[in-house]
Structure 1
C-alpha cells in the first residue's frame, strides 16, 4: 500500500489544525482512514498466521483516535500529526505498535509506564530470570533494529525489595520497558514495506513474550 494520501492529509491537517478545517475535509479524512484500516486488516491477518497466541485486532479496533486528549493535555493541538495503530492488542499486555507520521514512522512495542502491580511483576521476572531478558536485549539482530530500551523515567534509587547491588539493578530501575525503530516516511512507500513490518514484529516477539509472561503468570 502507498501511504502518500495519508501523509498528504496529515501535512494539510497540521497547517490547519482546527475543527473547522476538519469538518470541511471530513470526506477526505474518512477516505484516508478507511484505506488505512483496510491495510491494518490485511496486516492483522498476516501477523495472526505468525503467532499462535496472536490476539485478533481488526483495523477498527487497532487504530488510535486522531484527536488529542485535550482534557489532560490542554496545550496540545486539536489533532495529532500521525496515524497510530496497535496490533495484537490483548488487554493489559505488551502490544506491537505502528505509527505513520509526516516525516517519521516507528515500529514500537513493550510496556509504557505500566501500573504498579504490573511493573512489580516485570521487576520480579528480571530478578528471577534477568539473564534471559538480557539475552533477548543483546541479540545482535534485535539490537541492530531497536537499539537499547527506550530511555524514559527511571528510579534514582533501588525500588523497595531490591538490593542496590543486584546484578540487573539498572534494568530493574526502569519504569518503562519498550523498544522502537524509527525511520523515514518515504520508506513506507517502498514495495517491501509490509515485509519490513512483519520482520520487525517477528524480531520483537521474544521481547514482548517475556514481558507478557511476567505480567500474566
Structure 2
C-alpha cells in the first residue's frame, strides 16, 4: 500500500475541496481508493486467519464513502480529509474502524450513540455482568492503548429503570460505548504498521465482543 500517495491525494483534495477538482482528478482518486481496497483485503484475510469468529469483510464492503453527508452536516466540506473503513463488520454490530488521515489516523470500535433499543440492551448487560466490562476497560494494556470509553454526552441521572446508587452507574449513564486510539499519520509509513493494527485489533476485541454479545443475544 502506497500510503504516501494516499496522503498526498488527501492533502491536494483538502486544498481543492470541490466537485470540479475531484472530477478532474477522478483517475488519481480511483488509483488511491483501489490501492486502499486491496490493502483492506489483505488485512481482512490476515485477521480472518487469526480470529475464528471474524466476520469476512472485503475491502469494497468495509470502505466508507469519501463524501461527507451534507444532508445531516451541511456546514462540512464536500469531501472528508481521510479514508476510513470497517473490518470485522458484522451487520448491526460494532466493527473495528480504521482511519488514515492527513495529520491524524486512528483505530476505533464500539457503538457511537446507538438507538434506544440497542442502548437498553447494553445497559441491561452492564446491570447483569458489568464487572466483566470493567475488567476489560481497566486492563493495563487496554488503558495504555485506548484510555477509557470515548468521552461523549452522559445522562446526569440514572437511565430509566436503574437507580442512582447502582454499582455501575458510571457506565450506565453513558450514551456512547466506544473506544479510540489516535496517532500521527507518520505511523502508517513504518514497516510494523500492519502488526500494530493487528495488535490493536486483538486488544480491542474483548470490548467489542462484550458489546456485540449484549445487542445480539
TM-score, length of structure 2 as denominator length: 0.99
Kept in 2, the 8 Å contact 1:89–1:96? The answer is: yes
1:4 aligns to 2:11 (yes or no)? no
Alignment of structure 1 residues 144-163 onto 2, 5 Å: 144-163=144-163
Q: Which residue of 1 aligns with 2:44?
A: 44
Q: How do residues 1-217 of structure 1 correspond to structure 2 at under 5 angstroms?
A: 1-217=1-217
Cα pair 1:2 1:188 within 8 Å, conserved: no
Distance 1:119 1:27 in 2: 42
Question: Are the equivalent residues in 1 in contact too, given 2:109–2:204 (CA < 8 A)?
Answer: yes
**Can you give the 5+ residue segments of structure 2 that lack an aligned partner in the other structure?**
none
Is contact 2:2-2:35 (8 Å) kept?
Answer: no
Structure 2 CA distance, aligned partners of 1:83 and 1:171? 31
Instruction: Give 4+ residue runs of structure 1 displaced > 2 Å after superposition.
Output: none
Distance in 1 (alpha carbons) for counterparts of 2:49 and 2:175: 32
Unmatched 5+ residue regions in structure 1? none
**For this pair of structures, how many residues does the alignment match?**
217
- Contact in 2 for aligned 1:68/1:77 (Cα 8 Å): yes
SS in 2 for 1:105: strand
> Distance in 2 between the 1:134 and 1:2 partners?
39
SS at match of 1:49: helix
Residue 16 (structure 1) shift: 0.2
The separation in 2 between residues aligned to 1:72 and 1:188, in whole angstroms, is: 31
| CA-atom RMSD in angstroms | 0.7
CA distance in 2, matches of 1:10, 1:87: 22
Deviation at 1:202, TM superposition (A): 0.4
Partners of 1:154 and 1:175 within 8 A in 2: yes
Q: Is the 8 A contact 2:98 2:108 kept in 1?
A: yes
Q: Distance in 2 between matches of 1:174 and 1:50?
A: 32
Tell me how far 1:52 sits from its aligned partner.
Answer: 1.4
